[in-house]
Structure 1
């Protein structure tokens, strides 16, 4: 007797022996998703085809079938759920994982092959605490991962207001003592994701339990690919050598940084640390639940129009917001369109990233000129480009951002009162081979450093954190770049997070994770 409901839940991602066990003979005849797992916003560089990625991988020694599917694809999921769990019985967990869950883990090869994309994509990652639970005592050579995100936050390294236990700060589930791992489920509907979660929960019922979950979704209509403040997101992810491109220095899209695979994947060319062999093709995952106060942000932007001649008051306010971010809402960079938005530019990935903050072919940006883009702008703080030269050790800090918005659209009542009553924000995810050199460096040394890019620049006005103190920012006012703008409200509020390790398929198949 056929049981298509379980197969349909995971679609073509099931391996042959699982399909045979439940009596499905012809997977091509199964009902498909109504929509795709992935979105494809015009502003974001497109994924390589499977053929191109496979050729690039072959020339660089990568095995895309050994890499979990979420690590390299960036911010393009349709819907996504993060299910954080604790392990109560490691041996039973390993047995259930090997028998019933491992065959469902989605690889990069599957993600790049649309006909073979499962109905619900599934990835898994483990905290340092979770690895210890499973009996893995190896040193992965990343002190931030070993310590955990909460420890790093409590040491003041992330700028989060302390103590974390105060109301409105970190959620108790991110205490650092309960989460052993996270399941990352992506699909086109909440029903598909929920079915996947429920099926796995039953499998793990006697060995693990859910601690917390967070569901996100691409925003509706033409806002797909935009975060809740309204700005196109994910444009500046790097091109990975061996995935997006075969060779160093030849980005598929102008302005993309081309990075060796080892900056994202452990054990590959460019990984600057010594690792256990089994960690190869895995990656460290930084997760942050970032609440966004959208009505309050909009009120602040509208209250600070820049007195630029020839612009309407709304255009003057829009310019102020764009200079905070470094891009207009369309995705057009203010460096290339310094006074008004250019939607055509913003939607063209061959143009919207083709700049480096330097003029006339100079190798380095003018350290006195903020007319085109403030030094403090969010995208300039987090990717300084020609503000740093290639020999500067601070220039090589790349991550693949793979998050997704969560929560509803702003209601009419919220917009009218400029007060948030609904919970919304960004489920921030980044992948990197070194947390200290990746997410944590960008947050601490760049975004939260008021003297970066230059002395007196101020904090990143979007994600910069000053331990609940007001943030001073310069350069936002095009008419007076030396004017200091004081931001008293954190429009992005960290509600917690954790560091994880996403193992390769070979590692997941080994006795470390399977029994």
Structure 2
């Protein structure tokens, strides 16, 4: 186990990664953390993206298996990057002072399978995750709030939102190979090598590639906001920064403290994680126009105590403030609770300050949206200080690790662009589904009193509120009965910015649920035991 003084040591070793959301916790002699008590996973047995592959480019190879026997033989030669190797590579980058990752000649790779894929490979025992074992993501499309047409690769035929089709092979994806590197040539090399390794044993349905944005926009998604700041830190494995949420290892990696179905995992299910992939298309011109149009309304939503009566904001300042009210942070990453009116890029760069906040305000005992709207994206999906309405442990259990990457070209190119969203958790319902359905799309979240208060959905990743269907029959007991059928809406309890009505600029193009097995389980599948 690590020693008490190792947190500061880790921060110094990984100082070049000032933007990196999670920093591995290593001992003073630079060892990868080990634990013989069984409370922590062996990082050599965990596939590595749960520790965030260092990358500038990433490719996702979605496939179906054609020949099971030959696929298993090919899998025996596939060498996934482990979490331990990710730590070692990060240390190597820092020692060579290559904090921008650009010169690291390493290809990172991992493989994951759908429920149908595991069945085909002979792992038919339930994983213990009730959603993964029953539903593919296409079954959950409506539940997740996706209303637009999905890309063909994810639009599984014969979907069933009631009974699920995760175990129905027709039209299902079987798996995905993830290739990441610090330059496009290395990724293409990795894609070619994986394609040649599995060759005729698989049918590649699509290869989707993402890349970080150029120059100063590195680390920012296409709307311009710094991404991946508020990541959870696994206790005993990740060095937490001030204010960063710490979670039990089992919240992200199966089979450990914090895994809600730890006792129901099959032997081969330990040291794995569930991966969610979603392709999210972003309307950047529309979003920018929305900010410019609504920025001048800033006095409607900035508390008077924060500005002088004679205070003025430039068009750029008011536009960026309006955008910050949508996200909860300015584009730099500076959080509204600490910077409620003006951006502070220096604070945003400081990992000891940029996450060290909650949403409370001195003198206001109850939850308040004065500085940051309840509907702001970061406040919806990463809630803080909700006691007594939500237990801290429940909030921790809802954490996911996000490792997505932008896709598409920069403006003014007239091609689709957006985010290849990827997240990891030990249980889909506790993580991704809860954050999407229970938090982001839930107009009553976060809870702010003993009586449910209606706020609206997440300002960024959700869509227009669903109207409530009503059917009333009216009669005075004497004349004919009058039937009224239609839609009913309720007025939100708050009118904080942004917009009445709000507009939305992200369209889901589909995705899938995958299980990322341990290295030892891959060896069992392939016969390398």
Fold match (TM-score > 0.5): yes
Q: For the structure 1 residues 211 and 236, does the alpha-carbon distance in structure 2 shift closer, same or farther, using more than 3 Å as the test?
A: same
Q: Distance in 2 between matches of 1:401 and 1:430?
A: 4
Q: Distance in 1 between matches of 2:407 and 2:248?
A: 31
Q: Distance in 1 between matches of 2:465 and 2:151?
A: 17
Q: Does 1:112 align with 2:87?
A: yes
Q: Is the CA contact 1:472–1:485 (under 8 Å) kept in the aligned structure 2? A: no
Which deviates further from its counterpart, 288-297 or 39-48? 39-48
Q: Which residue of 2 aligns with 1:333?
A: 335
Q: For the structure 1 residues 334 and 316, does the alpha-carbon distance in structure 2 shift closer, same or farther, using more than 3 Å as the test?
A: same
Superposed, 1:166-185 pairs within 5 Å as 169-176=149-156, 177-185=171-179
Which deviates further from its counterpart, 120-129 or 189-198? 189-198
Superposed, 1:235-250 pairs within 5 Å as 235-245=229-239
The structural deviation recorded for 1:148 is 3.7
The structural deviation recorded for 1:393 is 6.8
- Which of 21, 32, 42 pairs up with 1:45? 21
- Which of 124, 138, 146 pairs up with 2:111? 124
Q: Is the CA contact 1:384–1:453 (under 8 Å) kept in the aligned structure 2? A: yes
Q: Which residue of 2 aligns with 1:423?
A: 416
Q: Is the CA contact 2:375–2:458 (under 8 Å) kept in the aligned structure 1? A: yes
Q: TM-score, normalised by structure 1?
A: 0.80
Q: Does 1:366 align with 2:373?
A: no
The structural deviation recorded for 1:57 is 4.0
Q: Distance in 2 between matches of 1:430 and 1:472?
A: 33
Q: Distance in 1 between matches of 2:16 and 2:493?
A: 34
Q: Does 1:58 align with 2:35?
A: yes
Gaps of 5+ in 2: 1-13, 94-103, 157-170, 300-310, 448-452, 469-488
Q: Which residue of 1 aligns with 2:302?
A: none
Q: Which residue of 2 aligns with 1:319?
A: 321
- Which of 267, 271, 291 pairs up with 1:277? 267
Q: For the structure 1 residues 486 and 276, does the alpha-carbon distance in structure 2 shift closer, same or farther, using more than 3 Å as the test?
A: same
Q: For the structure 1 residues 494 and 467, does the alpha-carbon distance in structure 2 shift closer, same or farther, using more than 3 Å as the test?
A: farther
Q: Which residue of 1 aligns with 2:445?
A: 452
Gaps of 5+ in 1: 1-37, 162-167, 246-251, 415-420
Aligned residues: 446
Superposed, 1:254-293 pairs within 5 Å as 254-273=242-261, 274-293=264-283
- Which of 427, 430, 446 pairs up with 1:434? 427
Alpha carbon RMSD of aligned pairs, Å?
Answer: 2.8
Q: Distance in 2 between matches of 1:473 and 1:123?
A: 47
The structural deviation recorded for 1:468 is 8.4
Q: For the structure 1 residues 382 and 424, does the alpha-carbon distance in structure 2 shift closer, same or farther, using more than 3 Å as the test?
A: same
Superposed, 1:92-491 pairs within 5 Å as 92-98=70-76, 100-101=77-78, 104-114=79-89, 115=92, 119-154=106-141, 156-161=142-147, 169-176=149-156, 177-245=171-239, 252-273=240-261, 274-305=264-295, 306-308=297-299, 309-360=311-362, 366-367=366-367, 369-389=368-388, 391=391, 394-395=394-395, 396-411=397-412, 421-454=414-447, 455-466=453-464, 481=496, 485-488=500-503, 490-491=504-505
Q: Which residue of 1 aligns with 2:480?
A: none
Larger Rg: 2
Q: For the structure 1 residues 307 and 121, does the alpha-carbon distance in structure 2 shift closer, same or farther, using more than 3 Å as the test?
A: closer
Q: Distance in 1 between matches of 2:24 and 2:84?
A: 11
The structural deviation recorded for 1:509 is 1.0
